[in-house]
Amino acid sequence: MLTEAVRDNDMKKKNKESKDIPTLARNWLNSGKFINWTSTLNENKSFGELNVFTTQRGDNKKPAILMIHGYPTSSFDFMELFDLLSMDYYVCAIDTPGYGFSDKPRNGYKYSIEDDARLVEYYITEILRVGTLTLLTHNKGNSVGLALLDLYRNQDMYVIGHHIIMNGNIYLPLANLTFFQKILLNKFTGPVATKFVTGKILANGLNRTAHNVRESQEKVRSIAFILDYQHGGQIQHDTIQYLNQRKQNEVRWLENLRNSKVPTSMIWGEDDRIAPTRVSDYVWDNYLRVRDIESKYWIIPKANHYVQNDKPEILSRLIRQTFGEEVDFHEISNEEKPYPKS
């Protein structure tokens, strides 16, 4: 079996030798390393060890922030936040199986939110080995984070000092799924449609519908390349099944949030059409505002579903504020200034 270091070097060399890899994707790959992970599900036993991509930047003695990405993208979503925060914080991210530069098994592999939560806990306790961290989640990563709260209650190896939840359909009855998502999710149309999905189709579609500030073509090319890694387009029917898992478990997971003793901030892009503010309003009114533990709810105007890409500077200030930093929003125009909801 390859050692971690040898496997890292081998996989990075293979990707460096590809003439087609865009610069931003190459830089992101080279910033990280691969760890071993074996699924905890009996259904996945035959698949053995997977290569899981992780990346850390900054001084590991500084406060840690762990970022968990959404569907269908990857840790690459946090590139701008890494740039803005890594001088003062230890910023970390992971690609869950089926996403980013992590392995994308097919032919019966079951992608699971609960399994992802166990992977995240393994990453925290065995790889990062930090005592305290802030958990920042987006989209599908929100469900991973809410499932992690179940595990968190039963351990004493680490402390989640703050939980930041960003745009995602964490209450599906109020969601606004796209027609394309519904096609991919459906057990009849999904397997057929998936055969024709490419990273380019996904990246361009997200850029049109989920961003107010359009990504540069260089970045879109990198997103497409990462989505296409190990033919990732061809597993979209399998990975989007997380929505059915969310449907089955979302009340339990939201109860985890209500019962959590972790201070929590919900930060939402106001113009999100996929996970509109009616979702975050519902979660705030029914699960966060009623807690005794500190809870805050911020809206960022003129930001869409990928708030970390539309307004990374404003978001980074709100993140810094959760650490007790004094932040100044005076130079931001009133039209773009974040505002709290109560």
Strand runs labelled E in the chain: 32-38, 49-57, 64-68, 90-94, 132-138, 159-166, 264-269, 295-300, 339-340
The confidence band for 18, taking pLDDT boundaries of 50, 70 and 90, is: low
- Please give the tally of structural domains in the chain: 1
- What is the residue range of 237's domain? 4-340
- Scan for tokens 């869950």, then name that residue: 96
Q: What is the pLDDT of residues 115-164, one digit of tens each?
A: 999 999 999 999 999 999 999 999 999 999 999 999 999 999 999 999 99
How far is residue 147's CA from residue 304's CA, in Å, rounded to a whole number?
25
Q: What's the rounded mean pLDDT across residues 328-335?
A: 90
Q: What are the structure tokens assigned to 99, written together?
A: 């996403």
* pLDDT of the residue at 194: 96
- Scan for tokens 């959590």, then name that residue: 260
Q: What is the pLDDT of residues 39-85, one digit of tens each?
A: 999 999 999 999 999 999 999 999 999 999 999 999 999 999 999 99
Cα atoms found within 13 Å of the Cα of residue 113, Cβ hemisphere only: 27
Q: What is the pLDDT of residues 262-280, one digit of tens each?
A: 999 999 999 999 999 999 9
* pLDDT greater than 80 at residue 19: no
Cα atoms found within 13 Å of the Cα of residue 254, Cβ hemisphere only: 22
Q: What is the pTM of this model?
A: 0.94
The confidence band for 206, taking pLDDT boundaries of 50, 70 and 90, is: very high
* pLDDT greater than 90 at residue 3: no
The confidence band for 17, taking pLDDT boundaries of 50, 70 and 90, is: very low
CATH of residue 331's domain is 3.40.50.1820
* pLDDT of the residue at 8: 53
Q: How many CB atoms lie within 10 A of CB 1?
A: 7
